Amino acid sequence: MFFNSLLTNFAALEVGQHLYWQIGNIRLHGQVFLTSWILLGSLLVFISLGTKKMENDPKGLQNLLEFLWDYIRDLARTQIGEKVYRDWMPFIGTLFLFVFVSNWGGALIPWRLIKLPSGELGAPTADINTTIALALLVSLSYFYAGLSNKGWRYFEYYVHPTPIMLPFKILEDFTKPLSLSFRLFGNILADELVVGVLVFLVPLILPIPVMFLGLFTSAIQALIFATLAAYYIGEAVEEHH
Amino acid sequence: MLAFNFFGATEGGLFDINATLPLMAIQVVALTYILNSLFFKPVGNVVEKREKFVSNNIIEAKNKLSEVKKLEADLLTQLQSARTEAQRIVSEAEDESDKLYKEALELANNEANASKEKTRLEIESQTSAARDQLSKQADDLSELIVNRLILEK
């Protein structure tokens, strides 16, 4: 009996429901775009405020942005290497900021207070479309990075220690975006579901530690995504001897 | 299609992949360009300018420090040479004054000796003269005594 009611309650969490926007022949998940626009808009406003009046002696918001910039540069430099990290730093940084802002925005803002006709607002990264889009961009980036830096010699990487590696390296090109997208999607969705279910069952106090854990996971996932993207690019541009 | 449609819903579901994917990709690419011009470039310029400024200052300070050390060593050698020079001059002056002193002493000694000798000779001559006179007077006196004794007889 209890299990039955749990299931119906679980269904009330509206898993896998979307707010559909129909534009001509194509259909979009509206709630993903709505939240991403709100979050990215606030991110851009925040950054514009911080970079409006840049001084040599940083104050307030500029300090925070410079710390962020330094953090992203260190990430890109350690993974990609001194030679080309500058070209890829904006991309890595954007991935990090996008995933981080999406994850934390999804966890911190009480979206549920806004009622939609169908589906519900939440982290944009809890939608498989978003994470696959990000992962495919990473794949394209490392191919582009490898080919533009080393030309056709990029494909030496596939037979690098021995030609036996060839099938595994080809398989890797498929598993990389798959693991990137599903790791992020799974973690964020699971976090949202766990918090949702707990809030549904015990609305007081108990969900709070889980929410903190969710914030932690969200930050870690952003870092993992950006680090792996940078690592893949670094692997593609690395010179073998 | 079944794979994209579990969790029950006839439409949608967790793995519902549609045009959201390419549009989101375009949005992220656009965001990359926006963030590059709004965040990464300006902040990078400021940070790298400051890093350059700091490293330049450090290099300059290091140069100055090495210059100071060179000057210090230079001064030290100068000081040392001045000190040895001073020592040489002092010892030279000491030698000189010693020589002068000895010379003056010798001169004074000689002079004193000479005057002593002269005085001695003078005394001696005076003594002998006095003695001569005394013996002559004694002779006269004895002659007088003899004459008187003879006359009385």
Question: Does B18 contact A129 at a Cβ distance shorter than 8 Å?
Answer: yes
Say what the pLDDT of residue A59 is: 83
Question: Does B43 contact A66 at a Cβ distance shorter than 8 Å?
Answer: yes
Chain A neighbors of B2, CB-CB under 8 A:
none
Residues A72, B40: Cα–Cα separation, whole Å: 10
Question: Does A33 contact B20 at a Cβ distance shorter than 8 Å?
Answer: yes
Do A181 and A130 touch, CB atoms closer than 8 A? no
- Residue (of A121, A115, A147) closest to A39 by Cα position: A121
- What one-letter code names the amino acid at B12? G
What does the mean pLDDT of chain A come to? 88
Do B11 and A118 touch, CB atoms closer than 8 A? no
Angle of the A128-150 helix axis to the B20-35 helix axis, nearest 10: 60
Chain A neighbors of B15, CB-CB under 8 A:
128
Question: Does B40 contact A90 at a Cβ distance shorter than 8 Å?
Answer: yes
Of the pLDDT bands very low, low, confident and very high (cuts 50, 70, 90), residue B8 is: very low
- Closest-CA distance, B60 to chain A, in angstroms, reads 19
When CB atoms are compared, the residue of A16, A51, A54 closest to B14 is: A16
- Closest-CA distance, B8 to chain A, in angstroms, reads 8
Question: Does A129 contact B24 at a Cβ distance shorter than 8 Å?
Answer: yes
Of the pLDDT bands very low, low, confident and very high (cuts 50, 70, 90), residue B10 is: very low
| A48 alpha carbon, distance to own chain's centre | 22
CA angle A216, A222, A227 (to 5 degrees): 125
The answer to whether residue B9 scores a pLDDT higher than 60 is no
- The reply to whether B29 touches chain A by the CB within 8 Å rule is yes
Angle of the A85-108 helix axis to the A128-150 helix axis, nearest 10: 170
State whether residue A26 is helix, strand or coil. strand
H helices present in chain A, as ranges: 2-12, 30-51, 61-80, 85-108, 128-150, 166-201, 207-237
Percent of chain B with pLDDT over 90: 81
pLDDT tens digits for range B69-125: 999 999 999 999 999 999 999 999 999 999 999 999 999 999 999 999 999 999 999
Say what the pLDDT of residue B6 is: 42
- Closest-CA distance, A67 to chain B, in angstroms, reads 10
pLDDT tens digits for range B22-39: 999 999 999 999 999 999
pLDDT tens digits for range A11-58: 456 677 888 888 888 888 988 999 999 999 999 999 999 988 888 888
Of the pLDDT bands very low, low, confident and very high (cuts 50, 70, 90), residue A156 is: confident
When CB atoms are compared, the residue of A16, A44, A119 closest to B34 is: A44
Residues A174, A158: Cα–Cα separation, whole Å: 14
- The reply to whether A54 touches chain B by the CB within 8 Å rule is yes
- Closest-CA distance, B5 to chain A, in angstroms, reads 9
- The reply to whether B7 touches chain A by the CB within 8 Å rule is yes
Say what the pLDDT of residue A241 is: 66
pTM summary value = 0.76
pLDDT tens digits for range B40-64: 999 999 999 999 999 999 999 999 9
Say what the pLDDT of residue B3 is: 39
State whether residue A162 is helix, strand or coil. coil
Say what the pLDDT of residue A23 is: 86
Mean pLDDT for A182-191 is 93
Do A233 and A80 touch, CB atoms closer than 8 A? yes
Indicate the range of A133-137, A184-188, A192-196, B62-66 predicted with least confidence. Answer: A192-196
Question: Does A66 contact B23 at a Cβ distance shorter than 8 Å?
Answer: no
Question: Does B39 contact A93 at a Cβ distance shorter than 8 Å?
Answer: yes
Report the chain B residue with the minimal C-alpha distance to residue A31.
B20
Percent of chain A with pLDDT over 90: 56
Mean pLDDT for A164-172 is 92
| A113 alpha carbon, distance to own chain's centre | 24
Mean pLDDT for B144-152 is 88
State whether residue A212 is helix, strand or coil. helix
Say what the pLDDT of residue A17 is: 82
Say what the pLDDT of residue B19 is: 87
**What's the complex ipTM?**
0.88
Residues A123, A99: Cα–Cα separation, whole Å: 9
Number of residue pairs across A and B with CB atoms under 8 Å?
122
- What one-letter code names the amino acid at A104? W
State whether residue A123 is helix, strand or coil. coil
Beta pairing partners, A28: A21
Question: Does B43 contact A69 at a Cβ distance shorter than 8 Å?
Answer: yes
Residue-wise DSSP of B25-40: HHHHHHHHHHHIIIII
- The reply to whether A38 touches chain B by the CB within 8 Å rule is no
pLDDT tens digits for range A80-138: 999 899 999 999 999 999 999 999 998 888 888 888 888 788 899 999 999 999 999 99
State whether residue A208 is helix, strand or coil. helix
